Amino acid sequence: MRGLEHLWAGWRQSYVEGLTETDSTGPVSGKGGLSLFESIEQANIPDDESFIVHRGASCFVLMNAYPYSSGHMLVLPKRSAATLGDLTEEEYGELWTTVRTAVTALEEGLSPEGVNVGLNLGRAAGAGIEGHVHVHVLPRWSGDTNFTTTTAETRVLPEAIGETWRRLRRVWPD
């Protein structure tokens, strides 16, 4: 059985190629000993190209490169930490405050019918990138997973990631 495919690509590759090392499943780590997420956050790339929605003191928000739905964001500490227990009290507090803000931004900017918030801690739990804890925040609509996902193992995303990024930045309370 094939893995899930997506119907968009290419325009994000310019920074991924320069920042990451890959294996057969895609990007796995950053360059220079940094995690993939640290590499993206520390790169000298404008936020509208790296799709960073928000930068806080110790955490940031990044559009997911492989979203389940348009607007799927990752909230994560700037510093690589493998588990929630590895976070400082400040990082932990900012992480969950930023998750709450991300949910509010999705509700205001995209008007979803629901929102999923979750973590995949460890490979057995489905973590695609281990070693850098991150919280998934994604909008959901009735029918956003339909026969195309089930029969063709392909997600149809109705909006380009750049447009979704602009919509979320407009409503983010910075």
C-alpha distance from residue 67 to each of 70, 89, 91, 93, 94 (Å): 7, 29, 25, 25, 23
**Are the beta carbons of 16 and 65 closer than 8 angstroms?**
yes
Give the C-alpha separation, 41 to 50, whole Å: 8
User: Does 134 qualify as catalytic in the annotation?
Assistant: yes
Looking at 54, 72, 132, 134, which residue is catalytic? 134
Amino acid identity at 111: S
State which amino acid sits at residue 86: D
Picking from 54, 17, 49, 53, the residue whose alpha carbon sits closest to that of residue 36 is 17
Active site residues: 134
